[in-house]
Structure 1
């Protein structure tokens, strides 16, 4: 469920018509619904009622500080994967003891940054990282709390570029070597083992891969405790998918996911962390764009928008589907025609959809890309010297620009000309 609905023939974000935002901000722009963000967070939090738990929002999905503050006010922790994300979380007022640091390539500088500013735990991905973490913590005279990310070799049945739990993926250590690696960690100074981490991928639409992975983690927990390790926390990652195409079968609900967690690891008495990102932010955001031209091609019509692959790269990178709807509600029974929906970037890859059935549109009409709140604005760029797409947050009948569109002068002024030129 989201809070983007047609009302009196126009598409609204909560109580604000999208046409009003477009007139004020210009297009393209991202718009997020506060009510949807809050609702989706609460679904996960309520799914784990009865267990000691923390829902750590995966910031890589959408990391604007206004979004972070909205979720942090509800009690959310944050899952970060870079020093920059850590700094964003802290700037948004998230305390260090609610920040989990994941990622395969943590640098010494990033480790020191988190140890200085406060951290809930590091999810360690490799033995070399573990050794560096020990060195940095020891030099600083502190102790680093860690989980070790295990790779359970489970097929998440998702897009190859977002699968993370198979043996050929770069993430974690093979679960078969976990006891050996935990023994090495226990012998290192400056490190405190507190638990286990696992994450098998993104946009999962079936609970079975989660169940397979979590059962392996439960077994490993018992083994590691028998070896003398204190395992009091399980970080179970994120990855629950969202329905991008309205015609698709709906993915499992957070309540079903919570029941699975209780069933597979609830008996262990561990604190549970989960790291949802896409399901919290995905359907909480739209990308709104304007038609520049309707072009007749050879046997096809092109709908050319002012939004492009630099604003929303998911279709070009993942062949991703987004429902694209007119901002003005079509009359019932209105004729539909097939369009190739494209942007103005000088690449054929700048294509959002082919043969998409839409009501007839013309230059100046507004369209909205649904389910664009996750991995949209965060992956945007200034390719073709196109200004970075702005972001807008709506709450009730109010809206605010939470990232402004830069001017050409601001963009160009970042360049530095060498003195010999």
Structure 2
């Protein structure tokens, strides 16, 4: 469920007309619904009720400070994968003891940063990283709480570019070698193994891969405890999918996901951490764009819009589907037109959809890309020297721009021409 509905023939974000936002902000832009963010976060807290737990929002899915602050004030932790994301979480008011640091390439500089300001745990991805963190923590005279991300070799049954739990993926340490890695942690100074971490991929629409992975984690927990390690926390990652196509069957609900957690690891007495991103923010945001031209092609018509692959890269990168709807509600029973929906960037890959049936549109009309709140603005670029597009947050009948569109002058001023030119 989201809060983007037609009212009096106009698509609204909660109680705000998208045409009103477009008139003040210009197109294209992203808009997020406070009510949807709150509701989706609440679904996860409900799913884990009665268990000691922390829901850590995956900052990589949407890193806007206003979104992070909103979730942080609801009690969310944060899952970060870079020093920059850590700084964002801190700037949004989330305390270090609610931040977990994931990612395969943590630098010593990043380690020093988070150890000096506070961290809940490092999710270690490799033995070289483990040894580097031991050296940094020892130099600083502190102890770093750590988990080891184990790779359970489970097929997440998702897009190849966002699967992370197979043996050929770059993430984690093979689960078969976990006991020897934890033994080395116990022998190293400056490290305290507080738990186990696992994350098998993103946009999962089947609970069985979670069940397989968590069953292996439960077995490993018992083995490590038998070896003398105080395993008291399980970071089970994120990855639960969302319905990008409303005509498709809905993915599993958080309450069903929570039941899998209870059945597989619920008897271990561990604190549970999860790291959802897409399910919290994905359907909480849309991208609104304007039609520049309707172009008649050879055997097809093109809807050329003022957003492009630099604004929303998922279709170009993942062949991803987004439902695309007119902002002005079509009349019932109107004949459909078929369009390839494309942007103005000089690449054929700048295509959002092919052969999409929609009500007929014309230049100046507005359309909305649904389910764009995750991996949308956060992955945007200024390719073709196109300014990043604004982000807007709605709460009830209010809206605020939470990231301005930069001017061309601001873009140009970031470059420096050397004196010899």
TM norm. shorter chain > 0.5: yes
Query: Counterparts of 1:366 and 1:398 in 2: how far apart (Å)?
Result: 21
Structure 2 partner of 1:33? 33
Q: Where in structure 2 are the equivalents of 1:334-349 lying within 5 Å?
A: 334-349=334-349
Aligned match of 2:332? 332
Partner of 1:44: 44
Instruction: Name the residue aligned to 1:137.
Output: 137
Distance, in Å, in 2 between the alignment partners of 1:336 and 1:112 is 58
Give CA deviations for 1:139-172 in whole Å, capped at 9, x if unaligned: 0000000000000000000000000000000000
Map of 1:278 onto structure 2: 278
The equivalent of 2:231 in structure 1 is 231
Matched, 1:191 2:197: no
- In the aligned structure 2, how far is the partner of 1:76 from the partner of 1:410? 34
Gap runs ≥5 in structure 1: none
Shift of 1:377: 0.2
Structure 2: tracts of 5 or more residues without a match: none
Structure 1 length normalisation: TM-score?
1.00
For residues 189-238 of structure 1, the C-alpha deviation after alignment (integer angstroms, 9 at most, x for no partner) is 00001000000000000000000000000000000000000000000000
Partner of 1:182: 182
Question: Deviation of residue 337 (structure 1)?
Answer: 1.1
| C-alpha distance in structure 1 between counterparts of 2:276 and 2:314, whole Å | 19
Matches within 5 A, 1:140-289: 140-289=140-289
Aligned residue number for residue 399 of structure 1: 399
Alignment partner, residue 69 of structure 1: 69
Cα distance in 1, alignment partners of residues 286 and 193 from structure 2: 41
Match of 1:116 in 2: 116
2:13 alignment partner in structure 1: 13
CA displacement, residues 23-50 of structure 1 (integer Å, 9 cap, x when unaligned): 0000000000000000000000110001
Residue of structure 2 in register with 1:361 after alignment: 361
Please give the alpha-carbon distance, in whole angstroms, between the structure 2 residues aligned to 1:219 and 1:389. 47
1:79 aligns with 2:57: no
- Measure the CA separation in 2 of the matches of 1:24 and 1:47: 39
Q: Distance in 1 between matches of 2:174 and 2:98?
A: 27
Query: For the residues of structure 1 that align with 2:242 and 2:173, how far apart are their CA atoms?
Result: 28
Q: Distance in 1 between matches of 2:182 and 2:338?
A: 57
In structure 2, the residue corresponding to 1:43 is in which secondary structure? helix
Coordinate RMSD, CA, aligned: 0.3
CA drift of 1:389 comes to 1.1
Partner SS state of residue 412, structure 1: helix
- TM-score scaled by length of structure 2: 1.00
Deviations 1:226-253 (A, max 9, x none): 0000000000000000000111110000
Q: SS of 2:216's equivalent?
A: helix
Q: Structure 1 residue 299 and structure 2 residue 299: aligned? A: yes
* Counterpart secondary structure, 2:347: coil
Q: Is 2:107 the partner of 1:107?
A: yes
